[in-house]
Structure 1
Amino acid sequence: MKLELRRVTIFTSNMDALARFYGEVLGLPALSDTPSWKLFDAGAVQIALHNGSAQLGRRPPKLVFHAADVPAARDAVNARGAKFGQVKQAEDFQMCDAKDPDGNPIQISSRI
């Protein structure tokens, strides 16, 4: 049996801000939209927003979005209201980090 990750669910008490961020700022297409559940197409994985409070661990999971051109992707989403920091160059890929409106860490990376 092979398991495949298909959806990440983020619990939030700030549904409007998170839905706007993932939908409008990051530009992810909405797949489902109800008051307590919103689902976005993020490629191979869907991002679900669910009403409720999360109890984050000391180091919460990070959502990493792939882009072949990290500086261009960063500029595009920052122009729509995201606050990604400077692009960092690793040995064979680039990345930049931000947080969503609930403080969850997110990243744009060219790592395959």
Structure 2
Amino acid sequence: MTNHAAPSCNRIVLYSKKPEDTVRFYADLFGYRAITKDGDRIIELQPPNGGLILLLHPASKGQKAGQSLIKLVFDVKDVGLFQQKLIAQGHAIGPVHEADGYQFANFRDPSGNPVSISSRAFASG
């Protein structure tokens, strides 16, 4: 990868079957502010003084609450380029998905934990 800063992990996806309760929990206890966009299933929770951003995503029927329902999200400007770098290094990674003004691709770490690369942090609007 040329002329790109190393990706940083500034967001975690939390899967939730009770998003309203989860928003209230983090807002009331830790001062997080909920941000939503029309047509986006993700509720972004921003901390009051910087720090880790929480992305609440609806949990699927097969996901069990309380059992590692998180995904590490690494910010990259060019998801496709980074995806190609991972493929060249022999990593299995899913396709690049288009979301609300940004892209992302999913894969797993060696222990099977879900990881994502995403340009959401660089999306305008």
Output the TM-score relative to the length of structure 2. 0.44
- Structure with higher Rg: it is 2
